[in-house]
Chains A and B, each alone.
Chain A
Amino acid sequence: MKIRNTRDGWGAGAQLLHWLIAAGIATAMLLGWIMVNLPNSATKFELYALHKSLGITILALVLLRIVWRWINMVPDMPGTLSPREQKLAGAGHMALYALMLLMPLSGYVLNSAANFPLNVFGLVQIPNLTPESETLAEVASVMHLTFFWVLAAVLVAHIGAALRHHFVLHDDVLRRMLPVRRR
């Protein structure tokens, strides 16, 4: 498998970024869900710290991924897809990219507006984006939760579509995001 993308497949770089970010998003969503429902405790705050660190890491990876996509060719969609399906897939992926940016950004703004410090994995402290503002923190909080639900819905569609391609349509769409030899 090549590092870079080819006309009919994703290279190792794109695959690594896809799966790293996928694992990051799944973990961040799970952590987020658990931590907000915990009563105040040391564990709760440790989960918050972890969630925030993970979110910033995902943001960095997503930016890297966008640059990588920019400087690589994007593999063609299989010809078996109808123009309508191709358009839908394009829109879905565009939504995923937008949400992958908006999700960590709204969290970052929320943390900044609360004027909480953010130290990524205890390694480096990053500056706050905004001045302290209760109103902004409130708005960012509502956005963060809204984006969570939208992202959850789009991810269900994304995973559902990938499985449909693999198990129903028997095409290469899922397999070409996996480091396996292609049929």
Chain B
Amino acid sequence: MFRSTSSSAGRFFLGLGLGVIASALPMLASSAATGWEIVHDESRLGFEATQQGGRFEGRFEDFRADMRFSADDLAMSRFDVTVATGSINTGSSQRDSNLPDAEWFDTDAFPEAYYVTREIRATTDGYEAVGDLTIRDNTHEVVLPFTWQTEGDRAEMNGAVTIDRVRFGVGQGEWRDPSVAGHEVKVVVDLTLER
């Protein structure tokens, strides 16, 4: 239709039209970045850590998130995750009995940890979220690489990032020693979502 317009007025309107569309895009996009609900039975917010040099796994049973993601509108995509620190489960009652203590997560003073993204961008392998991770009121930027596959109204998100527990004050005093528990903790996010 535009192509048949050859007058200068036509070009003006074409330009105007494109301009309006372009300026309206972010607005359109804000409604296009889809909100997703986590299917908790099929999702896992886990981690891998080491104790006395041996690997073990754990997970947070209780977390919730406001997840907005559209592959074609990353600018408006956003994750806002809240984790109940007291819901940590590493499958060892002895270990788990220590983790709520003041030296570890201090769950009385800091019952929640947060991850809020500032930007989500495409990478060669998928995506990465640039966000602020807050544990025990210590906030540091954490870049989480992840893949996202949407199939109909369901989606799978898988990501992993290694963080330094000491930077977040998790494991203080005598527990700071890496021979007790390694400083590097690999956070593994495997989510199933629905819209």
**Which residues of A come within 8 Å of B, CB atoms?**
40-42, 45-46, 48-49, 52, 114-119, 122, 125, 132, 134, 137
B91 close to A125 (CB less than 8 A): no
Q: A117-B52, A117-B56, A119-B52 are in contact. Are A45 and B180 (CB under 8 A)?
A: yes
Q: Give the residues in chain B near A48, CB-CB below 8 Å.
A: 52
Q: Judge whether B93 and A116 touch: CB under 8 Å.
A: no
Complex interface: chain A residues within 8 A of B179 (CB): 42, 45-46, 49
User: How many interface residues does B have (CB within 8 Å)?
Assistant: 17
B171 → A minimal CB distance (Å): 11
Q: Is the CB of B94 within 8 A of A116?
A: yes
In the complex, are the beta carbons of A132 and B91 less than 8 A apart? yes
Interchain CB contact (< 8 A) of B54 among A40, A41, A118, A137 = A118
Chain B 80-96 residues near chain A, CB threshold 8 A: 90-95
B residues in contact (CB < 8 Å) with A: 50-56, 90-95, 174, 177, 179-180
Interchain nearest-CB distance for A31 vs B (Å): 13
Known pairs A42-B180, A116-B51 / 4 extra A-B pairs, C-beta < 8 Å: A46-B179, A116-B56, A116-B92, A132-B92
B95–A116 contact, CB under 8 A? yes
The one of A49, A132, A137 that contacts B53, using a Cβ cutoff of 8 Å = A49
B180: chain A residues within 8 A (beta carbon): 42, 45
Q: How far is the CB of B56 from chain A (nearest CB, A)?
A: 5
In angstroms, Cα B171 to Cα A40, docked, is 13
Q: How far is the CB of B166 from chain A (nearest CB, A)?
A: 13
The residue in A40, A115, A117, A137 that gathers the most chain B C-beta atoms within 10 A of its C-beta is: A117
